[in-house]
Amino acid sequence: MLKEYKPTTPTRRHTVLVKDKRLAKRPVPKNLIKKVKYNAGRSGGRVSTRHKGGRVKRQYRVIDFKRDKYDVEGIVEDLFYDPNRSANIALIKYEDGERRFILATKKMEKGQNVISGEKVPIREGNAMPLKNIPSGIFVHNVELKRGKGGVMGRSAGAAIQKQGETGEYVQLKMPSGEIRLVRGENYATIGQVGNELHGLKKLGKAGRKRKMGIRPTVRGVAQSWKHPHGGGQGKGGRVGPGGPAKTPWGKKQGVKTRKNKRTNKYIIKRRTSKRRRKVKRYKTIV
């Protein structure tokens, strides 16, 4: 649920955070965490990555995206907060005593049973091949290559809908509106990813942003002539009618980065039209 605070200070007046009473407060099992090197900050006195650095130390939680413990039932021991992602995670204890982390779904509760396999019940948290999932069901953590692990639909609130089947392939409607084909043998997990209110959160103050490792960002138009958007009198600058948006190093922004034409045949409908939008050109009046 969303928690608003009494406006006792300017900060608390605008703060809106997500509180989930299901999350455990006990320490995470040590065998499921590992150290990850943090590269942002300064190197040799110079900024190595812009607008990043100085975050609170965190450890990586090892998540089971493959769900390759087949036909072994597990029980949800606890739900945990994960500082490395927007979604919450669930600690699963299997019948043989092994513990693993998986992404927590919207309706997942402590004590719930989950299982992964070819023919398992259509129940939230269970993982199975896409071809065995009925059309219209929402899934997440979808594989693009069999056995490689889920790569699509892993953020908070993500839900991918199965629409139908075309031979060996399954039609999936992505959260962006894109419709694409994925092989039916690939595994996916039933249900919507939890913590769906994550996008409505308001941090309220700069200090909370700094603890996340995000440093202040100054707009280009507010900078001097050293930035392509800066300089000029008042709100002048060189963006808008004067030319396209650019990076601080003068390169164009908004260029297409997709280069893998080999997989274009699997995309039935793009999230945006392929036709270029008509840009209205303005004449410079001297």
- Kindly report, residue by residue over 1-17, the tens digit of the pLDDT: 899 999 999 999 999 99
Q: Which residues fall within 8 angstroms of residue 141, CB to CB, at 6 or more apart?
A: 65, 67, 103, 127, 150, 152, 153, 154, 188, 189, 193
pLDDT band at 250 (very low <50, low <70, confident <90, very high): confident
Residues 6 or more apart whose CB falls under 8 angstroms from that of 41 comprise 47, 48, 49, 52, 53, 54
Model-level pTM? 0.86
**Under DSSP, is residue 139 helix (H, G, I), strand (E, B) or coil?**
strand
**Gap between the Cα atoms of 25 and 34, Å rounded:** 19
Place 242 in a pLDDT band, splitting at 50, 70 and 90.
Answer: low
Separation of alpha carbons 187 and 78, rounded Å:
24
Using 50, 70 and 90 to split pLDDT, how confident is the model at 158? very high
Closest CA to 169 of 129, 117, 125, 140: 129
Mean of pLDDT values over 177-189: 96
Rounded to whole angstroms, the Cα distance separating 187 from 249 reads: 43
* Greatest C-alpha distance within the chain: 79
Whether the per-residue pLDDT at 21 is higher than 50: the answer is yes
Phi, psi of 169 (to 5 degrees): -110, 160
Bridge partners of 42?
Answer: 47
**Nearest Cα residue to 68 out of 88, 91, 94, 86:** 94
What pLDDT digit, counting tens, does each position of 48-57 carry? 889 999 999 9
**pLDDT band at 283; cut points 50, 70, 90:** very low
Query: Which one, of 254, 223, 221, lies nearest residue 239 by Cα?
Result: 221
**pLDDT score, position 43:** 83
Q: Tell me which of 260 and 74 has the higher pLDDT.
A: 74
pLDDT at 241: 57
Domains and CATH numbers, the chain: 21-190 (2.40.50.140)
What does the block give as tokens for 130? 């896409």
Q: Is 276 a residue whose pLDDT tops 90? A: no
pLDDT for residue 285: 36
